[in-house]
């Protein structure tokens, strides 16, 4: 008998509600609705429109119920990381959640490290240093004498907030909590000592719960705390074969590149390389680095559209193909590219400062983004091998970005390893796999990944290295300029 599950999957630029159907060992997906997501600026502050998101989520669930009725088994929500809402003692939201790209965290590194040394923050959390992390958002609230912060009774991360609105239950799902930089992956609890030294309130936290736990119900439909950080769900869906040693890349607005480990790697080398130890499904650790993904390209595309040039992604691929390769080198993960703005000017300034020729045509910017992401992935892949002690055979790319042939081939070239792609809807699929585990319909993550391999074989592609010497030289030049 077929089983049906509802996956709510919210990325940093769009959201969707999907139904996954498991029938005779194969999984199929059907999209119920898809909707815009993104920051809205009001008086210089970037907000998420959480009410808009919840309304569209409810509409998608209603469409699923209309089509599948009582045959729906469960529901789960995953979202982007680090952001949260504050609630009062009556459970009412005190204000729209603020977007992680808001500038309120500027300067918070210094404020935190004045009270707790950087090395001690890493020892307590194992998390990569990014000013957008929840730790620095909370520090900004603490130092700004925020009324909402003072009046709050609970802090709920975005998926936990949405789950609360559906079920009335306040929980903190562990994979998401681990992105905050105030969760300790060794003790598997909040990093209370560090937070108390920083003067950050610890009474706001909800009870931690593991991915794959039924936390409540929405009108009789079980709601599962899935791997609610979208990267944790994406990693769960990577269809690795038994014995395969692969790095995983979840490719979208962000690029999350890492390996699945049994234990966190928290040492001076991991600190210096700015790696992160986030929790995965089945008590695993996602040892990875958060890197810029399609963000720069999305900003370029937006700016060109405002100028009257609405290039499609296929248009951009054609424009890039017409450009001489490996001309311009920059680091897509440099903080200068982290905020919205004029990416053309920023890339040009980067090239000018590093003594390179300067891109001028759209195709040059596009190809430079594709190539520099590939080089960034190769550099990070090599660091993962060194820090984890694992020899990695391949790079597995999942998510929407796995459709980009130029980056897939460039990554294979730069790595001198095979790159295997698919599935595209990895976050939704991982969400569904965790629901299957929670409902007892599969018995292990390995069983779930085997289902993915069978079900989405037509999305899988293998890219073998080409032009190896040219890309080896390019990687050396990239490191000389960017590192």
Give the active site residues: 230
69: CB partners within 8 A, 6+ apart: none
143: CB partners within 8 A, 6+ apart: 111
Give yes or no for a contact between 392 and 270, defined as CB atoms under 8 angstroms apart.
no
Strand ranges of the sheet holding 213-218, from the earlier edge strand across to the other edge: 26-36, 14-23, 3-10, 72-78, 221-225, 213-218
Distance CA 66, CA 64 (A): 5
Distance CA 8, CA 86 (A): 22
Helix, strand, coil % over all residues of the chain, rounded to 5: 45, 25, 30
> 69-92 in b/e burial notation, b at 16+ Cβ within 10 A?
eeebbbbbbbbbbbbbbbbeeeee
C-alpha to C-alpha distances, 202 to 105, 155, 172, nearest whole angstrom: 19, 10, 13
Query: Strand runs (DSSP E) across 128-178, as ranges?
Result: 154-157, 171-173
**Residue in the block written with tokens 């070239």:** 413
């Amino acid at each position: 008998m077929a089983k049906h599950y509802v996956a709510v999957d919210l990325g940093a630029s769009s959201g969707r509600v999907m139904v996954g159907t498991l029938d005779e060992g194969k999984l199929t997906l059907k999209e119920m609705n898809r909707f815009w997501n993104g920051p809205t600026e009001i008086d210089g502050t970037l907000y998420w429109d959480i009410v808009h998101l919840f309304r569209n989520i409810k509409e998608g669930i209603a469409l699923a119920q209309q089509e599948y009725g009582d045959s729906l088994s469960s529901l789960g929500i995953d979202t982007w990381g680090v952001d949260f809402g504050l609630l009062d003692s009556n459970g009412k939201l005190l204000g729209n959640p603020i977007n992680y790209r808001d500038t309120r965290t500027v300067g918070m590194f210094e404020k935190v490290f004045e009270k707790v040394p950087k090395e001690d923050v890493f020892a307590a959390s194992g998390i990569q240093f990014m000013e957008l992390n929840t730790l620095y958002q909370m520090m900004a609230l603490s130092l700004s004498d925020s009324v909402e912060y003072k009046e709050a009774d609970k802090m709920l991360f975005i998926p936990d907030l949405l789950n609360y609105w559906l079920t009335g239950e306040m929980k903190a799902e562990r994979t998401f909590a681990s992105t905050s930089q105030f969760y300790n992956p060794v003790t598997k609890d909040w990093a209370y000592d560090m937070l108390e030294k920083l003067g950050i309130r610890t009474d706001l936290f909800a009870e931690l719960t593991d991915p794959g736990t039924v936390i409540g119900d929405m009108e009789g439909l079980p709601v599962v705390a899935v791997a609610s950080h979208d990267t944790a769900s994406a990693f769960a869906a990577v269809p690795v074969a038994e014995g395969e040693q692969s790095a995983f890349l979840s490719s979208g607005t962000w690029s999350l590149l890492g390996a699945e480990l049994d234990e966190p790697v928290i040492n001076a080398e991991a600190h210096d390389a700015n790696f992160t130890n986030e929790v995965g499904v089945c008590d695993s650790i996602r040892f990875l680095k958060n890197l810029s993904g399609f963000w720069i390209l999305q900003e370029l595309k937006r700016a060109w559209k405002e100028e009257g040039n609405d290039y499609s992604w296929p248009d951009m691929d054609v424009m890039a193909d017409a450009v001489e390769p490996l001309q311009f080198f920059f680091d897509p993960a440099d903080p200068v590219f982290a905020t919205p703005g004029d990416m053309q000017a920023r890339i040009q300034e980067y090239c000018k400062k590093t003594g390179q020729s300067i891109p001028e045509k759209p195709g040059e910017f596009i190809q430079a983004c594709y190539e520099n992401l590939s080089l960034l992935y190769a550099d990070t892949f090599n660091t993962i091998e060194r820090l984890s002690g694992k020899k990695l055979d391949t790079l597995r790319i999942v998510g929407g970005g796995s459709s980009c042939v130029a980056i897939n081939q460039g990554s294979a070239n730069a790595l001198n390893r095979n790159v295997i792609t698919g599935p595209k809807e990895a976050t939704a699929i991982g969400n569904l796999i965790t629901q299957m585990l929670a409902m007892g319909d599969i018995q292990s993550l390995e069983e779930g990944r085997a289902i993915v391999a069978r079900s989405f074989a037509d999305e899988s592609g293998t890219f073998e290295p080409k032009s190896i010497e040219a890309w080896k030289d390019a990687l050396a030049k990239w490191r000389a300029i960017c590192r």
